[in-house]
Amino acid sequence: MPVPSADFKQALKKLSEKEKEALLLRLVRKDAEAYDTLAFELLEDVTLETLIERSSETIHDILFTVSGRSLSKALGRGLKKATQEIARYQRITKDRKGEVELHLYLLDLIFENFTGQFESIYKGFYVATARLVLRTMMLIKKHLHEDYHLEYQDKLNAFLTDLNGRSKRRQLSFNLPMQFEVN
């Protein structure tokens, strides 16, 4: 992202209210994320809850509408799109707890519906899921209060137990812990 220069800021200050409004409306017509960010900031009916609900529905739709010759490869692509949706939510709201909740929702969907694909010939979906669990653990430790560590510990340990019990664990190029350690 470009950083606005001092000249840019001065030019922006010189614009009239009508010109600023026209410029802003032109921007949001071209950039959906800018529109969503401004809607979240300005409109009362766009709340964290509604954005989490919308992102959850999008993630659900992404995972359950994947298609392709190999379900495992298609799920890997779907997992990538779902994590992009979570990143979009975080950029719009700056809400770390909501980001973690969406990660856990995505992992719940995977572990409830798609663990059979971990044993596929292709290891991409298994590796991407393991990386997602690690990223979720890192986000919890780095951005959330220690009380949440305890709240999420059992769920993360269940994910880790399942992943560590698979034969593909030896093919991972990174270390997958056995448990989520709480400080």
Q: CA 163: distance to chain centroid?
A: 20
Checking if the pLDDT of 4 tops 90, the result is no
What is the pLDDT of the chain when averaged over all its residues?
A: 94
Residue 17 token pair:
């209210």
Global pTM value: 0.91
| Residue 94 CB neighbour total at 10 angstroms | 11
User: What tens digit of pLDDT does each residue of 99-130 get?
Assistant: 999 999 999 999 999 999 999 888 999 999 99
- pLDDT classification of 7: cutoffs 50, 70, 90: very high
For 182, phi and psi rounded to 5 degrees?
Answer: -100, 130
CB under 8 Å, gap of 24 or more: what pairs does 173-176 form? 174/130, 174/131, 174/134, 176/130, 176/133, 176/134
User: What tens digit of pLDDT does each residue of 152-172 get?
Assistant: 999 999 999 999 999 888 889
- Among residues 88, 111, 98, 80, the alpha carbon closest in space to that of 36 is found at 88
pLDDT of residue 68: 87
Radius of gyration of the chain (CA): 20
pLDDT of residue 90: 97
